[in-house]
A and B are shown apart, each in its own frame.
Chain A
Amino acid sequence: MTESKKTKQAGITRRSVIKGLSTAAGAGAVALAAPGIVRRVSAAGPIRIGVISPLSGDWTIVGKAHFTGFKMATDEINAKGGVLGRKFELIAGDYKSDSRLVVEQANRLIRQEKVDFVAGTMSSADRNAAAPVVTKTDKILLYPTFYEGQEKEYFPGVCNKNLFMFGPVPSQQVFPHLDYMIKTHGKKFFMLGSDYAWPRVTNQVTKPKLAAAGGEVVGEVYTPFNTPQYESVLRQIRASGANVIFYSLVGPDSITFRNLLQASGAHKDHVIWTVGDEEFLTTALGPDVSAGDYASFDYFMSIKHPNNKKFLDTYRAEAGPDAVLNTVAAGMYNAAHMAAMAIEKSGEVSTDALREGLKGLTFDGAPQGSVHMRADDHQLVLPSYLMRVRKGWTSAEDMFEQAHVVERAEPSPANCDLPL
C-alpha cells in the first residue's frame, strides 16, 4: 500500500516536473513572440501515454505489476533517447479495481490529459468499458490480459480497429497442450469453472478440440463466486473418474476448492490444469496444495527463455527483490515496446500511424520469446507454456517447471469482419 502511494507520488512529481519544464519552455517561446518556435517546442515534447491500471482496491498488487511492466519498457526506451527524438511520458489512470471507473479514467486521460494513446485495463469488463471511449475519440488501446477471444457481437469491446490484444486467447493457452495432457494423464476431462463469460467461453471452444484430440468431457460445472463448500462438486468429479480437472475457478473460490481437493486426499487421483491461477494465486495456495498441478499461459516467471532473465532483473530493480509479476505485466511490457517500434517505423505519433505500425510487427525482445502482432485481427502470436507446479517451491521464481512448450502459438482467427 505504502509502496503504491510512493509510485503514485513519484509519478505526480515527475509529471509536474515535466509540466513545469514545458511551461518554462513555452514562456520562453512566448517571450520571443514567435509562434513557429512554440509549435516546434511542443512537437519535440514527450509522447504522452495514458496507463489505465488498478493501482488501488482489490487488485492493487497485480495492478502495480501491470503498471510497472509498462513503465519498465518506457524507461528502457527513454534511456536510449526515446522514439523519434521524443521521450515517453506516462500518465497513470487509477480506476481503483472498479470497472465503472474505467470510463472516467479513459475520458480524463484522453480528453483532459490529451494523451496520444492509452494502454491497460485488466479484465474484459474493464476493456469493454474503455472501448467506447477510445472508439469515439479515435485513440488506440493496448490491452495486455489473457481473455476469451473476439466475437463481433461484442463490438466495441473486441473486433475494434482501435484495440490491440497482447494477451493469449484459449486457442493459444489451451489447444497446444491438449495432446500432451491426454498422453500424460489420460483422456477424461472434468471442466470446472467460475460462473461467468471467460470460463464458459474457454470451455466451449476447448470441447471440440479436446474431442478431436481423443479426449472426452466427463463433467462440466460452473459455480457462483464465493461458494464456501465444494464437497458435492468433488464427489461428482470422483464419480466421473476424471483424469484431468480442466480448471477455471478464480480468486478465493479456486483456493477453497484446491484446499478441499488436497485435504480430502483426492488430489492424487486427479490432476488440475488451470488456465487462470498464475504466480499470485499460486503464492496464496502455498506449495503443499499446488504441487504437481499444471498451469498454462504465454508467460511465467519460471520460464527458461534467455530474454526472461534480463526482464526479471530489471523488474526486481524497479519493484524490489521479492516482487512477483505475471503474464499481465509481460503483456504490458510488450505493448509499450511494440508501440515504440510502431511509432519508429511509421515516423509519426497519430492513431493511424500507430495502428499501421503495429499491424504485422514482430518483437524479438519479449520476455517469453518472439511475439508477432497479427495484422488482420490485432491478436498477438505468442509462445505458449504448459508448466507443472514444482514440489516444495519457495518463491514465484522456482514455482513452476516447464512441461510442454510451444514457441509459436497461432491464435484461431478472431470471429470479426476481417481485416479490422
Chain B
Amino acid sequence: MDALSLAVSVAMDAVLVTLVLAMAALGLALIYGLIGVINLGHGAMLTIGAYVTWATTHAGIPFAAAVILAALAVALIGLAFEHFVVRHFYDQPFETLLITWGFFMITTEVIKIIFGTTMHPVTSPVTTPLDLGIAVLPAYRVLVAGISLTLIFLVAAVFYRTGLGVQIRAVIQNREVAGLMGVNIGRMYKLVFVVGCGLAGLAGGLLAPILSVGPYMGNIYLVRSFFVVIMGGVGQILGGTIVGSFLIGGSETIFALFSSQVFAQTIVFGLAIVVLRFRPHGILNRR
C-alpha cells in the first residue's frame, strides 16, 4: 500500500469512525448538553432502538422503515419517562443521574425477559463495499456517516436558525427571564428530551447492523458518548459533537498508525484527561 492510498484510507476511516460515534452521541449531546440531564439511560435507549429495528425487520418491514419506527418508539418511551418522572427532577442533577441509571437497569432486565440474552443479527441493507479505486469503504458505514452529518446539521439549523431554536437557547441562558417573556419552559425541556431520546433510538437502529443486537450493546457507546460531549463542550451541538467524536473515536485510527490499536485507545483516553485539565469546559467552550 503506497503512502497516498494509506493516507486516504486512514483519513476515510477516521471520518467514518468519527461520524458513526457522533451518531451514537448526538442524542446525549442534546439531553445532557442542553437541559443538563446526565442521562445514564442513553445506552439503554440505543439498545431499545436496536431491538425495535431487529424485531421489525425480522417481521418483514424494510430496514429504513424499521429504523424510523425505532426512533419513534424510543421517543415515545422518552416522552412517558419525561412526563411522569424526569420533569420533576430538572434541578437535581444527582437525582436525575440515579433515575436514569434506574431506567437503564429496568430496561435491560425487561429486554432480557422479553428477548432473552442471545445476540441477534440485523442484516446490513447495503452489503457491497464502496470501491473508490484508491480505498475500499464499507458502504453501510458511509451511509450512517452521511445520516449522522445531516442530522447534526439539521439539529444545529433548528437550534440557530429557527424561532424554536431561539426559545430553547433563551431557556438555557436564563430560564426565569425566558419564562417571563412567555416561553413555555416545561414544553421546551420536554421537546429537547424527547428529540434526544428519538435520536438515540434512531442511532441504535442504525448501529444494529454494525454491532450485534444484545441487551448490553448500548453500553459500548455510553461512556464514549459522555466523553464526546464533555470533550467537545457541553452545549456545543454542532462543533462539539464532531470535535469530541474525532478526539474519542477518529483520532485513534491515526494514533494506531504509530502503535497498536490497544495502545492508541489508551493514548486517546489519556489525552482526554489532559485536555480536560486545561479546558475543563470542553474544547469549544471558553468559559
On chain A, the residues within 8 Å of B129 by CB distance are 263-265
A285 with B121: CB separation less than 8 A: yes
Residues of B within 8 A of A221 (CB): 260-262
Contact B209 A259 (CB under 8 A): yes
Q: Mark B203-245, 1 if CB is under 8 A from A, else 0.
A: 0000001111010110111001000000000000000000000
> Residues 247-280 of chain B: 1 if any A CB is under 8 Å from the residue's CB, otherwise 0?
0010011001100111011000000000000000
- A233 and B261 in contact, given A59-B117, A264-B138, A285-B121 (Cβ under 8 angstroms): yes
Shortest CB–CB separation between residue B57 and chain A, in angstroms? Answer: 12
A223 with B119, Cβ < 8 A, contacts A229-B252, A235-B13 known: no
Encoded as 1 (CB less than 8 Å from any B CB) or 0, chain A from 265 to 305 comes to 11000000000000011011110110000000000000000
With A255-B211, A263-B139 given, is the CB distance from A229 to B121 under 8 Å? no
Q: Is B10 an interface residue (CB 8 A)?
A: yes
Docked complex Cα distance between A286 and B256 (Å): 30
A255 touches which of B123, B140, B212, B219 (Cβ 8 Å): B212
- Cβ of A147 to closest chain B Cβ, rounded Å: 22
Q: Report chain A residues within 8 Å CB of B136.
A: 264-266
Instruction: Decide if A323 is an interface residue (CB 8 Å cutoff).
Output: no
Q: Give the shortest distance, in Å, between A338 (CB) and chain B (any CB).
A: 30
**Majority SS at the chain A contact face:** helix
Picked from B112, B121, B128, the residue with its CB within 8 Å of the CB of A284 is B121
- Give Cα distance in the complex from A400 to B136, angstroms: 29
Q: Which residues of B contact A235 (CB under 8 A)?
A: 9-10, 13, 256
A344 at interface (Cβ–Cβ under 8 A)? no
List, in ascending order, chain A residues with CB within 8 A of B221's CB.
228
In the complex, which residues of chain A have a beta carbon less than 8 angstroms from the beta carbon of B224? 228
4 closest A-B pairs by CB:
A265-B129, A232-B256, A263-B138, A286-B121
Q: Give residues in B with beta carbon < 8 Å to A.
A: 1, 9-10, 13, 16-17, 21, 112-113, 116-121, 123-124, 127-129, 131, 136-141, 209-212, 214, 216-217, 219-221, 224, 249, 252-253, 256-257, 260-262, 264-265
Chain A residues in the interface with B (C-beta under 8 A): 1, 57-61, 195, 221-224, 226-233, 235-236, 238-239, 251-252, 255-256, 259-260, 262-266, 280-281, 283-286, 288-289
